[in-house]
Amino acid sequence: MFNFNCTSTFKFDVKKKTMKKIYYILLTPLILLISCNKNVTDNTKIEKLKDTSIEIEPDSTSYSLSLYDISKKINFKEIPRTVPYDSIKNKRFADLILKDSIVVLHSFKPYYIPIEKITWSENPENNNTWQNYYEALFFVSILNHGYQDYGIEAYHEKAKKYILNYIEKHPSLEEKTSDYTWYDHAVAFRTLHMLQTVANDLEQDDPDTKFIKKVFNSLSLNVTFMMDPKNYRIHNHSLMMDRSLLYLAKITKSDSLFYDKIYYPTVTRTIENMDKVIDPTGLAREHSTTYHIFDHNLNKTILTFIEEDDINPAFQLKILRKNDVLLQLVKPDLTFPIWGDSQIEVLNNQRAEEFGNDQRILDVLAGKRLPSIVNFENNIATLRTQKNDSSYVALFANFYSRVHKHNDDLSFVFQTLGMDILTDQGYYGYEKEHRPFLMSVFAHNSIAINNEDYWPGKKGQYSKLTGYSKSDAVEIISGEHTMYDSITVKRKLYFIKPNVIVLQDWAESKYPNLIKNISQQFNFGEKATDIQVSENNAIITFPKNISAIVKSFSNDDKITLEKSYRSRIQYSITPIYQIKVQKPGNKLTTVIEVQSSAYKYPVSNINIQEGEIEYTIKGKKYNLTL
C-alpha cells in the first residue's frame, strides 16, 4: 500500500523553493554582467560604424557614405536571392566549397582549386555558363546562405577570402580574366553576392570595416559598368543590373547625392525596359515559359525597390496580366510546355504565391478546368477539352526577336489522358553542343521546307495566328510565318476532340521553283516505349495501353523514323522517337490519332478524301471540309 506523507512533502517543497531563490540570487549578477557586456559591445560597434566612412567612386565621382546608415538599411533577407537551393542542399555545397571544391552550379561537377591558386581565368568545363557563374561569385552566395542558415563562421570567412582575392585580381574595368569579367549578368550577380557578404559581416560584434571598404571600392567599378548605356539592352540581363543598382540605392538613401545619381536614371530605364519586354497580353517577349516565370519574379522584386509614385498604374496592370499568360500556358497535369529556352516548370503552391495567390490559379490547383484560350496578340493558342481525358493542344506562332527564340514557328504540343504525346525539346545549354539542333526547325513539331533550317531576325519576317473557329466537337486554328526567304509557310490544325489532330500544311511563294519539298517533324514524349513505321503509317506505343498513330493522306509522301532527343533538364539529354513525314511539292495533310480504352467517346475511322475529313463519334459519321 502507498502511504502519502503530507509533512515530508511540505518540507520538500519548502526546500525546493529555497534552492530556487538561491539559484536566482547567484544567477542575476551573471545575467546583468552579460547584459552590460552586450550593451558595451553594441555601443562600441555603433561608434565604430559611425566613425567609418565608405568611399565609392562610380564614374570617377567620389561619394562618402556613412557605414552606420548603411548598416541600418542593409538586410540579408531583402537582398535578391540568386541561389535556388534549400538549406540542406546548400549546406552540402557550402561544405564542399570550404574544402576548396567550388560548386559553380549544380549542373557541373565541383571544381577543386585552392584559393591561392585561383587566377579567375579557369574554365575546366570549357563552358560559357560555367565561366559566367564563376565570375559572378555564385559559390560565394552559397557560402553566404550557409552562414545565414547555420551560423557557421567558417562559411563567412571563406566568402570574404574569395571576394578579396577577386578584388585583388580585378582592380579596374580594364582588367579582364575572361569575357565574363565585365558582362551584364555576372556583374549584376557579383554585386548582390558582395553585398550579401557585407550584410553578414555587419552582423558581427566587431565588423571588419577594412574589408567592407574594399568591397565598396570594388563596387565602384560594378556601378560604373552597370550605369554605362553601352552595356544596357532590352533584355533580362539589363534588368538584373537594375535590380542590383536599385537595392544599392535603397541601402544608401541617406546620402541624397549618391541616391539621386543611382536611383532616378535606373528607375527610368528599368520601367521602359520592362514595358518593352512585356507585351500587351502580359507575355514576356522571350519566347520561353521559363523566362516568362523568371521575368515575372525579377520584375516583382524590382518593383519593391521603386517608390510607388514612380510606377505608372497602366504598367502595373500589364504586370498583372502575366497571370493570364500563366493560365493560358499551363497544361492539365499542372506542368508547362517546354517552349523555347525552357526547362521543367510546374504550377504548385510556391508558384501560386509568386503570382500573388491569384484566385484563378488557386482554383486550377484545386482541380478547376480551364477553357481554350486563343490570343491573336501573343499568337499562342491553347485548345482544351472539358472532360476527364484532359486533352490539351498548344500551338505557337510567336516571334518578337531572337532572344531565347527557337525555330518553332507553328509548332505544337499535345497532351491527353495525362500523357505527353507530342512534346517540345528544351535547350540543353547556351553552348554549341546540342543547342544548334534543339533550336532548329528539325527539333520541333513544325514544318521544314527543302530540308533546310531558317534564321530568325531578318527584316520583314513574321509569325502569327491567322484564324480560329470552334464548335462543341472541333476547334480549328490557323497560322503562318515568313521565316524562310521568299516563302510563306502555313498550317491549319483541326483538333477533333478528344483524340485526333489533322494537319494541313503548305508553302507558298511567288517563285514556285523555290519549293522542292515539304516535311513535318513529330517528336514523341519520352515515355513512348515502342514504334513501328511503314511508308505512310507509324504507330507509337505508350504506357497504359495508349498508342498514337501518324498517317499521311498525301500522294508520294514517305514516313521515316529519325534519331532525336530532348533536354528537359539543363546539360542532360534523353533519346526520343521522332517521325518525319515528307513529300515532293508544297503540301502535306497528316492525321495524328491517339487510341485508348480510357476515352469515353473517342474519334475513330478517320479518312481524308476529296477535300473532306471523315470520322466517326459514338457510331455516327461526320464530315468536315478541309
Question: What percentage of the chain has pLDDT greater than the value 70?
Answer: 94
pLDDT at 32 over 60: no
The pLDDT score that the predictor gives to residue 554 is 78
pLDDT at 71 over 70: yes
| Sequence-distant (≥ 6) Cβ neighbours of residue 74 within 8 angstroms | 195, 198, 199, 202, 251
Residues 562 and 521: their CA atoms lie apart, in Å, by: 9
Q: 186-242: per-residue pLDDT in tens?
A: 999 999 999 999 999 999 999 999 999 999 999 999 999 999 999 999 999 999 999
Average pLDDT over residues 90-101: 98
The pLDDT score that the predictor gives to residue 536 is 84
The pLDDT score that the predictor gives to residue 29 is 61
Which H helix or E strand runs over 23? helix 6-50
The pLDDT score that the predictor gives to residue 65 is 97
Judge whether 515 and 543 are in contact, CB under 8 Å: no
Half-sphere exposure at residue 393, Cβ-oriented, CA atoms within 13 angstroms: 26
Average pLDDT over residues 286-299: 96
Residues 416 and 524: their CA atoms lie apart, in Å, by: 13
The band of 20, judged by pLDDT with boundaries at 50, 70 and 90, is low
Question: What percentage of the chain has pLDDT greater than the value 90?
Answer: 87
Strand stretches in 179-293, DSSP E: none
Nearest alpha carbon to residue 445 among 339, 516, 539, 547 = 339
Q: 243-264: per-residue pLDDT in tens?
A: 999 999 999 999 999 999 999 9
Residues 544 and 290: their CA atoms lie apart, in Å, by: 30
Q: Which of 7-16, 96-105, 349-358, 364-373 has the lowest mean pLDDT?
A: 7-16
The band of 12, judged by pLDDT with boundaries at 50, 70 and 90, is very low
Q: 394-403: per-residue pLDDT in tens?
A: 999 999 998 9
pLDDT at 11 over 80: no
One-character DSSP codes across 235-263: SHHHHHHHHHHHHHHHHTTTSHHHHHHHH
The pLDDT score that the predictor gives to residue 610 is 86
Average pLDDT over residues 297-319: 93
pLDDT at 1 over 50: no
Residues 504 and 489: their CA atoms lie apart, in Å, by: 11
Q: Which of 19-28, 68-77, 500-509 has the lowest mean pLDDT?
A: 19-28
Q: Which of 42-46, 48-52, 139-143, 515-519 has the lowest mean pLDDT?
A: 42-46
The pLDDT score that the predictor gives to residue 553 is 86
Nearest alpha carbon to residue 334 among 366, 303, 359, 307 = 366
CA distances from 71 to 269, 448, 590 (A): 28, 59, 66
- Partners of residue 559 on adjacent β-strands: 581
The pLDDT score that the predictor gives to residue 26 is 60
Mention the CATH class of domain 364-625.
Answer: mainly beta
Domain assignments of the chain as residue spans, ordered by start: 1-49, 52-228, 364-625
The pLDDT score that the predictor gives to residue 9 is 45
The pLDDT score that the predictor gives to residue 21 is 62
C-alpha cell at 484: 524562310
Mean per-residue pLDDT over the chain, rounded: 93
pLDDT at 90 over 80: yes
Residues 473 and 485: their CA atoms lie apart, in Å, by: 37
The pLDDT score that the predictor gives to residue 613 is 96
pLDDT at 133 over 70: yes
The pLDDT score that the predictor gives to residue 23 is 59
Residues 228 and 182: their CA atoms lie apart, in Å, by: 12
The band of 567, judged by pLDDT with boundaries at 50, 70 and 90, is very high
